[in-house]
């Protein structure tokens, strides 16, 4: 199953730009959009904001609060196996191999979905910003960098970059500009590892002192200001 169309906001007909939000682990399109899209629709006139959803529920999803996973695997995820068995164990190698295989497949699904979305509205990758929250930042960064989109926002992510060996999944160069917004107390975002990966690109950093994996409203305001500047000045850069 591919990417699920879920929610759209803003300019649904003849948009001049598109912003795609990718939810985190055990999140949904509805919850991902909550508190974010209202100010962004007002602050980005002419933008279509699209919020797709993974077709795969997490094992702990409930009917009352459904949650979805972009990278569903049979084995425990690499970050858990890394801790329990160590980085040289066969268990970790098997977990890593499966996780990265599923992640790459989901990136292919996202690419097809984006191709259709852009073609529908007659727009190009340079009119596109991908915003990834938590685990959704994997897809936003990997796909956005390779497509050379206008911009990529990494919010509360990318998580466990060391255990996933995320640096091996990213291209060495991209024209995409990055904005990374995280908290200094976030235990699942490894600052040194993430900075080593994204510092090879044009990346603007925002580290909120004392904040964990909390996603305060100020992060969304920071990201909105960055996108406003990106779309305002991007035409001259390209």
The answer to whether position 238 is within a domain reads no
Task: Say if strands 17-22 and 128-133 run parallel, antiparallel, or are unpaired.
Answer: parallel
The answer to whether position 81 is within a domain reads yes
Cα–Cα distance for residue pair 146/230, rounded to 1 Å:
18
Q: Which CA distances in Å does 33 have to 24, 127, 131, 190, 214?
A: 11, 20, 11, 25, 15
Report CA dihedral (190, 162, 158, 17) to the nearest 10 degrees. 130
Q: What is the pLDDT of residue 2?
A: 81
Q: What is the pLDDT of residue 237?
A: 39
How many domains are there within the chain? 1
pLDDT along the chain (238 residues), means of 10: 90 97 96 96 97 95 92 94 96 97 97 98 98 97 98 95 94 97 95 95 97 95 98 54
Taking a C-beta distance cutoff of 8 angstroms, is the pair 71, 103 a contact?
yes
Taking a C-beta distance cutoff of 8 angstroms, is the pair 183, 212 a contact?
yes
Give the rounded distance of the alpha carbon of 64 from its chain centre: 25
The answer to whether position 153 is within a domain reads yes
Task: Say if strands 47-53 and 128-133 run parallel, antiparallel, or are unpaired.
Answer: unpaired
Task: Say if strands 177-183 and 202-208 run parallel, antiparallel, or are unpaired.
Answer: parallel
Q: What is the DSSP string of 88-147?
A: TSHHHHHHHHHHHHHHHHHHHHHHHHHHHHHHHHT--GGGEEEEEETTHHHHHHHHHHHH
The answer to whether position 61 is within a domain reads yes
Q: Which of 19, 13, 4, 8 is nearest to 231 (CA)?
A: 19
Q: Number of helices and strands (H, E) in the chain?
A: 8, 7
Q: Quote the domain boundaries for residue 106.
A: 4-232
Q: What is the pLDDT of residue 213?
A: 95
Cα–Cα distance for residue pair 12/88, rounded to 1 Å:
50
The answer to whether position 237 is within a domain reads no
Nearest-5° Cα angle at 227, 226 to 231: 125
Whether the CA torsion 97, 56, 11, 223 is positive or negative: it is negative
The answer to whether position 133 is within a domain reads yes
Q: Domain of 43: which CATH number? A: 3.40.50.1820
């Amino acid at each position: 199953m591919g990417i699920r169309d879920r929610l759209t906001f803003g300019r649904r007909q003849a948009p001049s730009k598109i912003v795609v939000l990718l939810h985190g682990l055990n999140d949904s399109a509805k919850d991902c959009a909550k508190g974010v899209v209202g100010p962004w629709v007002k602050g980005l006139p002419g933008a279509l904001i699209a919020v797709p959803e993974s077709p795969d529920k997490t094992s702990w999803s409930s009917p009352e609060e459904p949650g979805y996973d972009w990278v569903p695997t049979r084995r425990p995820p690499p970050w858990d196996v890394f801790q329990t068995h160590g980085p040289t164990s066969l268990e970790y190698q098997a977990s890593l191999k499966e996780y990265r295989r599923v992640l790459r497949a989901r990136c292919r699904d996202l690419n097809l979905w984006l191709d259709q979305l852009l073609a529908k509205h007659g727009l190009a990758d340079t009119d596109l910003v991908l915003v990834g929250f938590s685990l959704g930042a994997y897809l936003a960064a990997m796909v956005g960098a390779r497509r050379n989109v206008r911009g990529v926002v990494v919010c509360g992510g990318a998580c466990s970059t060391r255990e996933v060996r995320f640096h091996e999944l990213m291209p060495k160069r991209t024209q995409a500009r990055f904005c990374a917004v995280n908290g200094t107390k976030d235990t699942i975002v490894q600052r040194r590892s993430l900075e080593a990966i994204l510092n090879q690109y044009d990346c603007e950093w925002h580290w909120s002192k004392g904040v964990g994996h909390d996603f305060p409203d100020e992060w969304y305001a920071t990201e909105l200001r960055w996108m406003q500047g990106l779309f305002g000045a991007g035409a001259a850069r390209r």
